[in-house]
Chains A and B, each alone.
Chain A
Amino acid sequence: MKKILILFSHPKLEKSRVNLSLINHIKDKENVTLHDLYDEYPDFHIDVPKEQKLLLQHDIIIWHHPFYWYSCPPLMKQWIDMVLEFNWAYGPEGKALQNKTCLNAITTGGSKEVYCSAGYNSFTVEQFLRPFEQTANLCGMTYLPPFAVMGTHNLSEEKLNDYKINYGKLIDLLQAELTINDFEKISFINDIPQLKAHNT
């Protein structure tokens, strides 16, 4: 069973209905480590050796965060800046993360429709996430399409419940050998047939 590290960044989790629901649903799963960065490093003073050790102990890394200004909250950027060190994660001798798998799990206020060239956000989520994709690539990790909960401002309880269950299901699937071939030509991991089947 593959080990999953969820690097969770939310500056105000106690007020986030959607993230609380997602997190509470998966936090007690076996071989899943929920690492709440804002709770661990309130002063942004990240313990780099500790974080690196944690990364080495897991196979799949999920950057779980709200999609603020088309990106991640600042502490997660701080985490990337500090933990993914030169000659450890990248650079000529940086091979620590090679062959691990990585993806973003995001929540957006806007719905899927507004994230396109015709919508008011002009670009797709996939395009906005390019920096993360390339970060993963540079570190030699396999980058998967994102898991996205979109339109959270108008999300009904039933819908949220479906997302929650799908998130748990996704984690189960990732732990049991899903391969990159399962994700070809898909912009969101939510759309793989295994999850589609559930979400009727």
Chain B
Amino acid sequence: MTGSLLFEAIVFLAGAIICVSIAKRLGLSSVIGYLLAGVLIGPYVLGFIGEEGEDILHFAEFGVVMMLFLIGLEIEPKNFWNMRKTILGMGSIQVGGTMLLSFFLFTLLGFNWKVALVISMAVALSSTAIAMQTIKEKGLMETTFGTSAFSILLFQDIVVIFMIGAMPLLANMSDDTTANNHNESLSLIESLPLGFQTLAIIASVIVIIALGRYVVVPMLRKVAKTGVRELLIAAAFLIVFGISFIMELVGLSPALGAFLGGVVLSNSEFKHELESTLEPFKDLLLGLFFMAVGASINFIVIAKSPLTIAGFLIGVIFLKALVLFITGRAFNLKLDQKLLLTFSLAQVGEFAFVLLSFAFGLNILEQEQMDMLLVITALSMALTPIISIVNERFILPKVGTKESIQRPMDHIAKSHKIILVGFGHFGSTVGRFLRSHGVEATVLDQDSNRVDFLRKMGFEVYYGDATRLDLLESAGIADAKIVIIATNKLSVTKAISKIVDQKYPHIELMIRTKNRYDAYELLNLGREHIYRESLDTSLALASDVLHKLGFRKYTLNRQVKNFIKYDEASLRRLAKAPKQEADYIFKARKELQEQEELLNSDFKRGIVAFDNHWDSDYIRKALEKVTTKYNSK
């Protein structure tokens, strides 16, 4: 049934679109949708995808790499360093505990100790793809559960290197040494003794940090200066591919390398740009990955011994859950956080595919054992979202202590998010003044030189094209209260205005405009808060001139205020003018005439007509009028 590449692509895409939208409508995680789509199009249901499912799985694992890169982008080095205790502590308890328990379990069940050890290694690892995707989808990254899960997964990413490294040692200890025929040296690191392996890991971490700081960021600046959008996409891919390549070369996990690369770049001004560029690709690749997992569930193996598999499956999940619960307890997590952790990481992860096939290659495992274990792995991954639903709908509501994401309310800047678009002379003044009041705006600017300079001065400035919805979203527009547009490009202002109208109508826009003609257009788009850059300054200059000619400052000050009020009112009247050119000009001329007349009369009286205050002349005249009225009676 399988055909061309085009046909396969159609099958995958259509499957994803149909199943994920159904899953979403039912209120389920998109992961379930993808897995289901995989099962449907896989060899045992519709049969669209056959053997090539495994190649696709391998290819789609790249989605996991990208995800780790993106997660790294959100974790600044400082925070990463703060997490070291959780990573090492929780990670070692979870991996060590699971390995120990499952090793005993499988030896008791009569497996050879080597086989039991391989299985226990595979079982100890959880699925970064499934767990992290679900955590991000539910916005739980900031909770203790989120960071704990992430720490454990990160530790597993590191420990898997040693597991792969230990595998050939295991094989060499077997009796028939001829068994090494499948084995091909995969990487540099495996040929090294254990101590050098550690050194190699440290060395490659240093290389990545150095490359990120001294090669990647300058390169991105050069690329940004060209102003060609697709080059930035190319650069983003180059970074991720490059890291993966280096890591695979030395035999480390590409996902781990990508994470480190992300952390290195998280301080750079390109953070949001990289995020928004890679995000859709990551999601699609992960989707593909989940579908491939679904398609790889071998129903023939299941049919052969359904009870054994069900038993193992339940046993493994229970065992993992138990260790996770203990881990959570050791780190004093609240009950609900502990339960979330327990159920979200209880599956066997994608690393198991790698470990198991590697062990099979080394003749440690038999075909039958591997098939069964692969099925268990895939099934346990598929079950995770379902277990999570059970936990969320039936167990958690009874627990009651729900941790809400902490929002520090003591600081205006934190609870009222402001986005400032454009950080030129106008925008920077705005930003400085806000900052002097403790309000830190998230700044977006398109000039990478300026962004770099401002970041050195300590501003939170990001490079990027603010007319793109995804960039605005990664800058946090969803939580923003106000978006300030300080650019003088009308096209940019109009584009943002449109986005806000369509997707975030609750957000207030405060807009700088060049002149009254731009202001007309924006008023007609329904924008309220428009600030003409030329108005206040020109009047300040004019009134200073008049002061030098002998006018009193306070009177001038009041007149400036009146003038602005008049001008704003006429601006709004004129904006409503229909677009017919002749009429428009006529109306404009009439307005100008009106203003001129007003100014004229002000000039003649020496004071504006409606400002009689403190004017004793006015009262005297009025009194005279009254007296003559009474006298004439």
Contact = CB atoms under 8 A, between A and B. Distances in A.
Same complex origin of A and B: yes
A92 interface: yes
Interface in A50-85: 81-82, 85
Contacts of B614: 81
Q: Which residue among B612, B613, B614, B623 has the maximum number of chain A CB atoms within 10 Å of its CB?
A: B613
Q: Which secondary structure dominates chain B's binding surface?
A: helix
B613 A82 contact: yes
A87 B613 contact: no
A179 to B, nearest CB: 34
Given A43-B561, A45-B558, A86 B619 contact: yes
Interface in B588-633: 610, 612-614, 618-619, 622-623, 626
Given A81-B613, A81-B614, A45 B561 contact: yes
Contacts of B622: 86-87, 91
A92 B626 CA distance: 8
Interface string B560-583: 010000000000000000000000
Contacts of A177: none
Chain B interface size range: 10 to 19
Interface in A137-163: none
Contacts, number: 21
A28 B590 CA distance: 45
Nearest to A78: B613
Contacts of A45: 558, 561
Interface in A26-65: 43, 45, 48
A110 B12 CA distance: 80
A48 B613 CA distance: 10
Contact of A93 (B610, B618, B626): B626
Nearest to B619: A86
Nearest to B558: A45
A57 B610 CA distance: 22
Nearest to B614: A81
A85 B614 CA distance: 10
A144 to B, nearest CB: 28
Contacts of A93: 626
Contacts of B613: 48, 81-82, 85
B558 to A, nearest CB: 7
A86 B615 CA distance: 11
Contacts of B618: 86
A43 B558 CA distance: 10
A77 to B, nearest CB: 12
A126 to B, nearest CB: 29
A79 B612 CA distance: 14
Contacts of A48: 610, 613
Nearest to B615: A86
A48 B558 CA distance: 13
Contacts of A85: 612-613
Contacts of A91: 619, 622-623, 626
Nearest to A92: B626
Contacts of A43: 561
A13 B487 CA distance: 34
Contacts of B558: 45
A45 B626 CA distance: 29
Contacts of A81: 613-614
Interface string A85-99: 111000111000000
21 contacts: A43-B561, A45-B558, A45-B561, A48-B610, A48-B613, A81-B613, A81-B614, A82-B613, A85-B612, A85-B613, A86-B618, A86-B619, A86-B622, A87-B622, A91-B619, A91-B622, A91-B623, A91-B626, A92-B623, A92-B626, A93-B626
The 3 A-B residue pairs with the shortest CB-CB distance, nearest first, are: A45-B561, A92-B626, A86-B619
Interface of A: 43, 45, 48, 81-82, 85-87, 91-93
Given A87-B622, A91-B622, 5 more contacts: A81-B613, A85-B612, A86-B622, A92-B626, A93-B626
